[in-house]
Structure 1
Amino acid sequence: MEELSIKEFLSQEIKAFFKLKKSDRLWHIPVLASLCIGIPLLIGLAFDNVKSGLLASLSGLVILYIPTANSIVSRMATMLICSFGFMVSYAIGLIFSFNPFVSTIVFGIFSTMVYWINLYFKTKPPASFFFIMIGSLASGMPHDLSSIPQRIGLIAMGTMLACTLALLYSFFVQRKIYKKDAIIISELLVKSKYADLVEAMIVGSFMFTSMLIGHVLKFQNPYWIPISCLAVMQGVNLYHIWQRVIHRILGTFLGLGLCWLFLSIIHTPFSICITIIILQFIIEILIVRHYALAVIFITPMTILLAEAANPLILDPDLLIATRFLDISIGSLIGAIGGWFVHNEKIRFYTIMKIRKAKLVLMGK
């Protein structure tokens, strides 16, 4: 009987792997995301400064936070707040990147704060992910104090473009969607402030740990480990987290094969930029329907971003091997972190300790 249940479980998982989920996400968002990524890339290419274009295109991902059901004023307020958050995240990462261990400590504290703020305001997906991702990328960059204003300026320009496109989108697209069921559910599932703090502390601790492991192992780009870790930890439960681990590792492996194909047929910076734009559109279509399929396209897009920034010195063999290794390590760390997040005993024990410490400080 037990063997039959295992077979049924494996059969169910295999069917689920090849099944696309239904989504009510508008096709406008993938188009907007592709424009916000692509326009800075093409402008950078036109001025023979692809690196600056890449940095500005990175901040264009703020468009993914645009609410589709709100008024224009509320929509633009959300975009401006998130844009400011992107700039702060990048600035903190750059300022403290002068020392890997100082940077790691600050990144862990910063991740805790960002995660808690997003829990407090109950922001919708992608929630804290891109804020932490940008902070992680900035903390892994070489420290150059004189270039910090210019880099933050490029981030600001990317967010300004995204806000401009969001405003035009709001004027010309009048369709509004009101998700009453989602509002009712969110009101019912209100967490305690202590539970939010515990979850944020756990996530921040694992962001610190994953970044530290990247530095200790002397990875050239250690920031991909915490990014992969966070992507897995965002699962809604333990089953979802372990499913994401398998999907992310398998999707990365298949994506590397797709990357080999791209690297063999595209060589010019222009063709690489166009490919990145197309891949971004495909990713935004698939990410809400099938995580593993989306990862297959995320992998070559990240590698092509490196190719566009440095087409002459890129070593495909080393880059692909390193990327698979750091994503696998980050995914496994994320699975462990997800177990801590969803372990009720650990959460209850930590909450009791926080309350006890609070009473002691208050003298009660």
Structure 2
Amino acid sequence: MIENSNKKTTYFKIITALKAVTNITPSERPLHRAFLSAIACSTPAFIGIAIDQFYQGLMACMGALVILYLPAAAFKKQMFTMASGSILFVMSFTIASVTSFSAISSVLIVGFLSFVNSIICRKIHIGPPGSFFPFMLACVATVIPFDLTTLPERTLLVAIGCAIASCFAFAYCLIFRTNTSPPKVELSPSETKVSTWKLELFESLLIMGTYAIALSLNLDNPYWAPISCAAVLQGRQLLSVLTRKVQRIIGTLLGLLIASLIFSSELAPIHMAILIMGLIFAIEVLMYKNYALGVIFVTPITILFAEITSSSMSADQLIYARFLDILIGSAIGAVGSWLIIHNYIKLYKDQATEKS
């Protein structure tokens, strides 16, 4: 009877997760936040076009993604989040760029930055998307051709992007003042039993292993594999992990179709800048409503930043390589999440045994 009950519970969770893939969650984020993010993130590209330095403008656009971290909080908290987020962005990009001279060093630094960024974001209370985008910048930096002579310029461009976004955030916060305090992330009882840094270390090792496996398979610039693994590991419940895995695969598949259209078309710089604005707007509007819909637009913009100056592959080869990345990263992330959840369940059982 107990075994049948467990099976029914598992089937129910799977069905619920599959239904959750298409759920549209109401979001309280105002629409003008999406306009702010879209304008702030695309401004470096438009500036690059104006001074005939479009590719440098794209590099700065990566730093401008820090605008996505602007919380609905008091002014002081908003400015602190933008400043600390900018430091994380520049630090992650710089360290990953300096150590990208070999595959081994890239794997090691990706794991290290995943661990350090997670701890920093937790300690200084940086809310979602947490350490994800600094980590994404680090992964992208590892596939940019290694050249120490251009490193200061690339780092400065990312910093300029952060500064532009921070200026927009400052003006926005003066206009739309709020004293709302963001909800604090509470740890579950099992997470308080297991040292949080140990979980972060375990996740970092998984991400590092994912990148190593992808490189050992001779995939071309498999930066999307560790990114996918990190995204799936954000779940802390079985339902959340299953839902996020399915959503990430579906969203990435559709996003890859958009990316294939972008790379198969010879878009003018002005069109690409407008495209960046549209993609960021879609991410801001949709990510908080449905993860899969948001990932559809995260995928092409990340590939755009990573591949525009470094990839010599055709559009079809590019899409195939990134799809293999997503399968490897999501699979390893799901297995790692299951191991973490299994440990949580064991702790709950131990607690129940102690009480009885």
Same fold (TM over 0.5): yes
TM-aligned CA deviation for residue 309 of structure 1: 4.4
TM-aligned CA deviation for residue 60 of structure 1: 0.7
Q: 131, 147, 159: which one pairs with 2:134?
A: 131
Residue 176 (structure 2) aligns with:
173
Question: Would the alpha carbon gap of residues 170 and 320 (structure 1) be closer, same or farther in structure 2, given more than 3 Å must change?
Answer: same
Residue 118 (structure 2) aligns with:
115
Query: How many angstroms apart in 1 are the aligned matches of 2:277 and 2:191?
Result: 39
Residue 230 (structure 2) aligns with:
230
Query: How many angstroms apart in 2 are the aligned matches of 1:340 and 1:331?
Result: 14
Secondary structure at 1:329's aligned position in 2? helix
Query: TM-score, with normalisation over the residues of structure 2?
Result: 0.85
TM-aligned CA deviation for residue 33 of structure 1: 1.8
Query: How many angstroms apart in 1 are the aligned matches of 2:97 and 2:137?
Result: 10
Query: How many angstroms apart in 2 are the aligned matches of 1:332 and 1:38?
Result: 33
Query: How many angstroms apart in 1 are the aligned matches of 2:329 and 2:321?
Result: 12
Query: How many angstroms apart in 1 are the aligned matches of 2:345 and 2:137?
Result: 29
Paired-residue identity, %: 34
Residue 291 (structure 2) aligns with:
291
Residue 362 (structure 1) aligns with:
none
Q: 35, 38, 56: which one pairs with 2:39?
A: 35
Aligned pairs for 1:53-64 (under 5 A) are: 53-64=57-68
TM-aligned CA deviation for residue 136 of structure 1: 1.7
Query: How many angstroms apart in 2 are the aligned matches of 1:330 and 1:189?
Result: 28
Q: 22, 25, 34: which one pairs with 1:18?
A: 22
Residue 212 (structure 2) aligns with:
212
Q: Kindly indicate whether the alpha-carbon contact (under 8 Å) linking 1:307 and 1:314 is maintained by their aligned counterparts in 2.
A: no
Say how many residue pairs are matched: 343
AA in 1 matched with 2:120:
I
Q: Quick check: 1:343 aligned with 2:342?
A: yes
| Post-superposition CA distance 1:62-90 (Å, at most 9, x none) | 112222211x2332122112211111111
Query: How many angstroms apart in 2 are the aligned matches of 1:346 and 1:142?
Result: 44
| Post-superposition CA distance 1:282-313 (Å, at most 9, x none) | 111111110111222233334444675479x5
| Post-superposition CA distance 1:121-178 (Å, at most 9, x none) | 3431111111211122212322211111111111110111011111101111124434
Q: Quick check: 14-23 or 241-250, which moved more?
A: 14-23
Secondary structure at 1:343's aligned position in 2? helix
Question: Would the alpha carbon gap of residues 87 and 297 (structure 1) be closer, same or farther in structure 2, given more than 3 Å must change?
Answer: closer
| Post-superposition CA distance 1:2-25 (Å, at most 9, x none) | 899888667645543332101112
Q: Quick check: 1:269 aligned with 2:269?
A: yes
Question: Would the alpha carbon gap of residues 93 and 5 (structure 1) be closer, same or farther in structure 2, given more than 3 Å must change?
Answer: closer
Secondary structure at 1:69's aligned position in 2? coil
Question: Would the alpha carbon gap of residues 225 and 168 (structure 1) be closer, same or farther in structure 2, given more than 3 Å must change?
Answer: same
What RMSD, in angstroms, separates the aligned Cα atoms of the two structures?
A: 2.9
Q: Quick check: 1:100 aligned with 2:103?
A: yes
User: Which consecutive residues of structure 1, in runs of 5 or more, have no partner in the other structure?
Assistant: 349-364
TM-aligned CA deviation for residue 95 of structure 1: 1.2
Query: How many angstroms apart in 1 are the aligned matches of 2:303 and 2:241?
Result: 25
Question: Would the alpha carbon gap of residues 307 and 217 (structure 1) be closer, same or farther in structure 2, given more than 3 Å must change?
Answer: closer
Query: How many angstroms apart in 1 are the aligned matches of 2:180 and 2:108?
Result: 41
Residue 257 (structure 1) aligns with:
257
Q: Kindly indicate whether the alpha-carbon contact (under 8 Å) linking 1:54 and 1:309 is maintained by their aligned counterparts in 2.
A: no
Q: Quick check: 22-31 or 273-282, which moved more?
A: 22-31
Q: Quick check: 165-174 or 337-346, which moved more?
A: 337-346
Q: Kindly indicate whether the alpha-carbon contact (under 8 Å) linking 2:13 and 2:239 is maintained by their aligned counterparts in 1.
A: no
TM-aligned CA deviation for residue 94 of structure 1: 1.1
TM-aligned CA deviation for residue 32 of structure 1: 2.1
Q: Kindly indicate whether the alpha-carbon contact (under 8 Å) linking 1:103 and 1:139 is maintained by their aligned counterparts in 2.
A: yes
Query: How many angstroms apart in 1 are the aligned matches of 2:86 and 2:193?
Result: 26
Q: Kindly indicate whether the alpha-carbon contact (under 8 Å) linking 2:41 and 2:165 is maintained by their aligned counterparts in 1.
A: no
TM-aligned CA deviation for residue 204 of structure 1: 1.0
Q: 67, 84, 95: which one pairs with 1:81?
A: 84
Q: Kindly indicate whether the alpha-carbon contact (under 8 Å) linking 1:112 and 1:204 is maintained by their aligned counterparts in 2.
A: yes
Secondary structure at 2:186's aligned position in 1? helix
User: Which consecutive residues of structure 2, in runs of 5 or more, have no partner in the other structure?
Assistant: 348-356
